[in-house]
């Protein structure tokens, strides 16, 4: 078979992490071109991950920066199209549910270039989330749907997508954790944050539905109150910092705030935490692989398998539900039950995903 060309489009922190175990495999098997949209651009949201994960510098950067959804997506489409026309890839790979992934997939599909979508079929069934719209659009224009688990596969089938397009490969987050976990033990983050193993909670919060003026104040109130009872380290996402300023919310003094951390520091901090409080998708799976229970600050999750297994729990996003459920689940016996639940963690998704891409490309004359 002639050497095929694959373009991978990424642009945000979770995409860099989740695609990191695939990138070396893609470079071995294909003429591989990496395009960075520039959706995330600051060192701690972007460059630190390239450094720590040993990734090659992108071949092209679209430098779209932050903007409204329409503007950001439009910039991505208009800047990516000439690159796809010039490089003429046989396939474009995108991951997940960000504006970058959706724009990358849409731009390719309109040029009749087959799209592979990693993490296909994740659904929250909440169309108020920009990520949900991005996922639905992407799945319906992709040629190869790389689903993480059977729930995602069922979601795709229920939307009428043909079984021949779907491969259930697992989640590449697990591969990334397994490769980097050992290396993360050298991190000095616990000393730097002055916390001791098992004696603190890690908090992340940035989803757009949680950073609105109706929702965010109640969440911060609950978390501030909880931080009087437990040490809470809040890894503050720039979106959340901006939303707090806009809503005029003061950070409760009980909460210890940190800048977003690099990947290795995050792995180490989560691994040694008593529990994780989060609305992030990637962190739910990372915590699952690291053996740390997660209390999810949402009413639904696309990563159901860890909740179904009894490892993680949903505690909602109102002041009352967070306080009531966090107090319940943070009791030692309840936490021990979550920790003891066997988590169905499967590695090897990255190899399976690349093998499926090779299969599809071989079937295209
Ligand atoms: C995006 C994704 C979300 C993902 C998240 C991970 C979409 C619709 N959402 O949300 O699914 O979970 O990334 O972080 O694509 N900013 C910086 N530095 C940066 C990047 C952003 O300061 O490097 C600030 C900007 O002020 C910006 C805000 O963060 O307005 C939000 O960034 P944006 O790219 O719009 O989306 P995220 O909230 O990061």
The verdict on 142 and 191 lying in the same domain is no
In terms of Cβ atoms closer than 10 Å to its own Cβ (0-12, 13-18, 19+), residue 193 is middle
Whether residues 159 and 221 fall in one domain: no
Residue 1 banded pLDDT, cuts 50, 70, 90? low
Q: Residue 134: which residues within 8 A CB-CB, separation 6 or more?
A: 97, 98, 99, 101, 102
Residue 159, CA atoms < 13 Å, CB-side half-sphere: 21
Rounded to whole angstroms, how far apart are CA atoms 275 and 297?
Answer: 13
Is 32 an annotated catalytic residue?
A: no
Residue 279 Cβ inside 6 Å of ligand 1? The answer reads no
- What's the pLDDT tens digit per position in 295-323? 999 999 999 999 999 999 999 999 999 99
* 155, 41: one domain: yes
The total of structural domains in the chain comes to: 2
Of 167, 57, 176, which is closest to residue 117 (Cα–Cα)?
167
Average pLDDT score over residue span 277-299: 97
264-277: string of b/e by CB count within 10 Å (b at 16+)? bbbbbbbbbbbbbb
Q: Report yes or no on 177 lying in a domain.
A: no
Residue 276 pLDDT exceeds 70: yes
Query: Which residue CA neighbors atom 11 of ligand 1 most closely?
Result: 98
* 238 within ligand 1 shell (Cβ under 6 A): yes
Question: Per-residue pLDDT for 10 more than 80?
Answer: yes
| Paired tokens of 227 | 């931080």
| Structural domain boundaries enclosing 97 | 5-170+348-363
Q: Say which residue the tokens 């169309």 belong to.
A: 127
CA distance 73 to 104: 9
Q: pTM of this prediction?
A: 0.95
State if residue 66 touches ligand 1 by the CB under 6 angstroms criterion: yes
Mutation test residue for ligand 1: of 44, 62, 208, 238, the one with most atoms within 8 Å of CB:
238
Residue 266 has a pLDDT of 98
Between CA 153 and CA 150 the distance in angstroms is 5
The CATH number of residue 298's host domain is 3.40.50.2000
Residues 15 and 153 in one domain: yes
Residue-wise pLDDT for 141-184, tens only, equals 999 999 999 999 999 999 999 999 999 999 999 999 999 999 99
Each residue of 102-125: pLDDT tens digit? 999 999 999 999 999 999 999 999
Residue 126 lies in a domain: yes
For residues 339 and 161, is the Cβ–Cβ distance under 8 A?
no
In which region does residue 28 sit, left (phi positive, over 0), alpha (psi from -120 to 50) or beta (all else)? alpha
Residue 175, domain member (yes or no): no
| 322 and 357 part of one domain | no
Measure 329 CA to ligand 1 centroid, in angstroms.
Answer: 30
pLDDT at 364: 85
């Amino acid at each position: 078979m002639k050497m095929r060309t694959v373009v991978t489009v990424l642009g945000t922190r979770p995409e860099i992490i989740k695609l990191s175990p695939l990138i070396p495999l893609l470079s071995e098997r294909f003429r591989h071109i990496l395009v960075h949209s520039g959706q995330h651009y600051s060192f701690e949201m972007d460059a630190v991950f390239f450094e720590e994960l040993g990734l090659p510098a992108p071949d092209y950067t679209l430098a779209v920066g932050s903007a409204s959804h329409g503007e950001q997506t439009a910039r991505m489409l208009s800047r990516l199209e000439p690159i796809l026309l010039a490089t003429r890839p046989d396939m474009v790979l995108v991951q997940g549910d960000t504006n970058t992934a959706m724009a990358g997939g849409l731009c390719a599909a309109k040029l009749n270039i087959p799209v592979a979508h990693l993490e296909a079929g994740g659904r929250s069934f909440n169309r108020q989330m920009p990520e949900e719209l991005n996922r639905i659009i992407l799945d319906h224009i992709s040629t190869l749907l790389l689903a993480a688990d059977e729930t995602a596969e069922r979601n795709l089938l229920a939307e009428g997508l043909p079984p021949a397009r779907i491969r259930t490969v697992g989640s590449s987050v697990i591969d990334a954790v397994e490769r980097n976990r050992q290396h993360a033990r050298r991190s000095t983050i616990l000393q730097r944050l002055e916390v001791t193993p098992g004696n603190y909670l890690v908090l992340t919060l940035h989803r757009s539905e949680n950073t609105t003026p109706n929702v965010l104040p109640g969440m911060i109130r609950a978390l501030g109150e909880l931080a009087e009872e437990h040490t809470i380290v809040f890894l503050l996402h720039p979106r959340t910092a901006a939303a707090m300023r806009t809503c005029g919310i003061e950070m409760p003094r009980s909460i210890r705030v940190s800048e977003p951390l690099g990947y290795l520091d995050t792995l180490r901090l989560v691994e040694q935490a008593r529990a994780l409080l989060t609305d992030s998708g990637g962190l739910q799976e990372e915590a699952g692989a690291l053996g740390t229970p997660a209390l999810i600050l949402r009413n639904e999750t696309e990563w159901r398998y860890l909740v179904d297994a009894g490892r993680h729990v949903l505690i909602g996003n109102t002041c009352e539900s967070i306080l009531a459920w966090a107090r319940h689940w943070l009791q030692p016996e309840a936490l021990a039950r979550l920790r003891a639940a066997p988590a169905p963690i499967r590695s090897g998704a990255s190899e399976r995903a690349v093998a499926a891409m090779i299969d599809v490309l071989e079937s295209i004359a």
